[in-house]
Structure 1
């Protein structure tokens, strides 16, 4: 079977009923979903997203990598430019999932092999515990000063066995997260 021909055929069915030429550039739900590239984890299906609802960024493990930070910062900049410089907040939803292949990246032997063969250090982005990894990723996004305070972030964990997305972290603005971190750091220095 030629996969490309199959996908083109599916696209022709999609195009035959296409009526979304007037969708705005900015997502209707003012949302970015950052999730894993795993084929079982399609946010359109899981979260009921329609065409034009959200921007979706996918990578190994759904982690807040340097590239993901740059994508989010660029989107924020473009939104601001498109709205005549007014800082525009939007939602970032981090969504990891159970039974993730990125859990294998926590294996030191695999990390070493990837470093030696490809020059890629995956240790920072390995999945070890989704809840704590999502917390780490929220903090990683908050530490990225190029991402504006008005951006809100939340986290979900999708269970591939049940189809259920569980809330791990409620929505909070990066400005609030940064202020709370600053207060905590000041108190710790006490």
Structure 2
């Protein structure tokens, strides 16, 4: 149990002035962000939002997976989302390694054969972003009035560059 003591102590500090009690769960700024799980990304901070303003979906590479689409459908119909940003980033491990390289690294780290596991590497980040934006815009359950944009976040400058 001691493995999490530092985090539980930080949580008690966080909860001591917790301001979201009773919050309705709606995205108050009407925004959803699909981005990578990379810890260099602050999804809310990078666009000047705060907790409660947006729905965030994170996964390796920031791809629009079936699970991300599910979240976006829920967000647009039930949680006040009317703008969607898809935001991969520079120097992403999923875009700078091959599937084989990732498998080899995982195998070496785990001591187990990882050749059977897929990791969804991205050969061309802009092409993948283009496909992901199209996937959202053509989804039958995403309203056509929803504004969808594709951006790349620069982890070295903090800037977003709009591509779509």
TM range (shorter): 0.7 to 0.9
Asked if 1 retains the 8 angstrom alpha-carbon contact of 2:31 and 2:81, the reply is: no
Bigger Rg over Cα? 1
Asked if 2 retains the 8 angstrom alpha-carbon contact of 1:157 and 1:167, the reply is: yes
**Does 2:96 match 1:109?**
no
Asked if 2 retains the 8 angstrom alpha-carbon contact of 1:96 and 1:156, the reply is: yes
Asked if 1 retains the 8 angstrom alpha-carbon contact of 2:60 and 2:94, the reply is: yes
C-alpha distance in structure 1 between counterparts of 2:44 and 2:81, whole Å: 22
After superposition, the Cα gap between the structure-2 partners of 1:119 and 1:77, relative to the gap in structure 1 and judged at 3 Å, is farther
- Structure with the bigger RCO (C-alpha within 8 Å, sep 6+) is 2
Give the unaligned 5+ runs of structure 1: 80-87, 170-190
After superposition, the Cα gap between the structure-2 partners of 1:29 and 1:112, relative to the gap in structure 1 and judged at 3 Å, is same
Asked if 2 retains the 8 angstrom alpha-carbon contact of 1:111 and 1:121, the reply is: no
CA shift for structure 1 position 39: 0.8
CA shift for structure 1 position 161: 1.1
C-alpha distance in structure 2 between counterparts of 1:89 and 1:108, whole Å: 34
- Aligned to 1:161, what secondary structure does the other structure show? coil
**Structure richer in helix, relative to its length:** 1
Partner in structure 2 of residue 144 of structure 1: 139
Normalising by structure 1, report the TM-score: 0.70
- CA RMSD in angstroms comes to 2.6
User: Aligned residue pairs: how many?
Assistant: 156
After superposition, the Cα gap between the structure-2 partners of 1:33 and 1:89, relative to the gap in structure 1 and judged at 3 Å, is closer
